[in-house]
């Protein structure tokens, strides 16, 4: 498949803040990646330097094999959808769409028109006067209809209602299936995007703490629910990401898949195995990283 984006040793400092700290990560081509992390972790900073909206203080970036900064060869293949997108003062949606049509060589106007109808983007309202959700819809439509080889969505759902968010996920996935490309989606609604993303990149305090295919990640941990002594027996010797006691019952999330012998024992002990949601896993792994970082 190959690499679409390669980031080597990238640091971005803002005065006293180090937003990105020696980040090295690559994003495989034609895949949907989730870029996850807590507030202020460095997601927007990373996307900004990759899309050449910003310059790294140190390090090297290649997008489709080229340095993106001031590079007319590669920039038309990169689309960055973010909340604080600037439009000129009296721009209406069709102005933004026309500008995108000129900027992106793979632009699909028919798809844009269809999406504008489905998202109910008002035709006559200036973007500045639109509701937050309507403005987000304009960005999301540009992100999908541009069909840019590399597309970033930075928390694209701000203000979108549940119906519009579902529409976004469905249309993105449909279009991606027909026109595979590299998509990086940053979101706090991890379980909502869990079925979309194939790879997770988790960033915390400017450092990459995890970069793993979702399937592999799901097998990383299980939650055991049962009698406290039984759960303790299975959890013994494993790294426990989280545990709760409920009277004589306990619930523990442990790292590592269970082998056949352990699975038999789990049955004998009448323990329920509950799959861990991606969101849970990300929260627990971030907490673990923070604990280790504090040591």
Q: What is the dihedral of CA 131, 134, 139, 145, to 10 degrees?
A: -170
Shortest reach from residue 116's CB to ligand ATP, in Å: 27
| 197 lines the binding site for ligand ATP (CB under 6 A) | no
Q: Which residues pair with 212 in a beta bridge?
A: 200
In angstroms, the CA 142 to CA 136 distance is 10
- 59 Cβ contact partners less than 8 Å away, ≥ 6 residues apart: 7, 8, 9, 10, 11, 22, 23
| 55 lines the binding site for ligand ATP (CB under 6 A) | no
Q: Which is nearer to ligand ATP, 9 or 40 (CB)?
A: 40
Q: Which is nearer to ligand ATP, 44 or 146 (CB)?
A: 44
Question: Which of 39, 102, 215, 294 touches ligand ATP by CB under 6 A?
Answer: 39
| Contacting ligand ATP within 9-28 (CB under 6 A) | 14, 17, 19
Q: Which is nearer to ligand ATP, 17 or 216 (CB)?
A: 17
Shortest reach from residue 127's CB to ligand ATP, in Å: 21
In angstroms, the CA 91 to CA 65 distance is 34
Question: Which of 33, 36, 37, 148 touches ligand ATP by CB under 6 A?
Answer: 37
Which DSSP letter does residue 291 get? H
Question: Which of 36, 44, 68, 96 touches ligand ATP by CB under 6 A?
Answer: 44
Shortest reach from residue 189's CB to ligand ATP, in Å: 12
Nearest partner of 116 among 101, 100, 102, 134, judged by Cα: 134
| 51 lines the binding site for ligand ATP (CB under 6 A) | no
Q: What are residue 254's phi and psi, to 5 degrees?
A: -120, 150
Strands 221-227 and 272-275: antiparallel
Chain residues binding ligand ATP by CB under 6 A are: 14, 17, 19, 37, 39-45
């Amino acid at each position: 498949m190959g690499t679409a984006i390669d980031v080597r040793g990238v640091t971005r400092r803002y005065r006293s803040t180090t937003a990105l700290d020696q980040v090295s990560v690559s994003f495989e081509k034609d895949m949907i990646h989730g870029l996850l992390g807590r507030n202020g972790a460095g997601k927007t900073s990373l996307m900004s330097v990759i899309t050449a909206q910003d310059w790294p203080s140190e390090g090297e970036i290649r997008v489709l094999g080229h340095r993106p900064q001031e590079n007319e060869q590669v920039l038309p293949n990169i689309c960055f959808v973010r909340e604080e997108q600037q439009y000129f003062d009296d721009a209406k949606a069709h102005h933004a769409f026309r500008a995108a049509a000129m900027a992106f060589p793979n632009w699909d106007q028919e798809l844009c028109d269809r999406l504008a109808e489905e998202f109910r983007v008002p035709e006559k309202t200036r973007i500045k006067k639109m509701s937050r959700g309507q403005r987000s819809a304009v960005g999301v439509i540009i992100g999908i209809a541009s069909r840019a080889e590399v597309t970033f969505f930075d928390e694209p759902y701000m203000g979108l209602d549940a119906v519009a968010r579902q529409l976004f996920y469905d249309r993105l996935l449909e279009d991606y299936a027909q026109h595979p490309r590299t998509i990086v989606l940053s979101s706090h609604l991890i379980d909502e995007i869990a079925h979309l993303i194939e790879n997770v990149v988790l960033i915390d305090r400017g450092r990459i703490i995890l970069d793993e295919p979702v399937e592999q990640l799901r097998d990383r941990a299980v939650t055991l629910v049962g009698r406290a002594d039984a759960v303790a027996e299975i959890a013994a010797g494993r790294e426990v990401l989280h545990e709760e006691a409920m009277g004589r019952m306990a619930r523990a999330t442990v790292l590592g898949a269970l082998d056949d012998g352990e699975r038999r024992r789990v049955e004998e002990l009448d323990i329920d195995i509950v799959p861990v949601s991606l969101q849970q896993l990300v929260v627990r792994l971030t907490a673990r990283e923070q604990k280790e970082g504090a040591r």
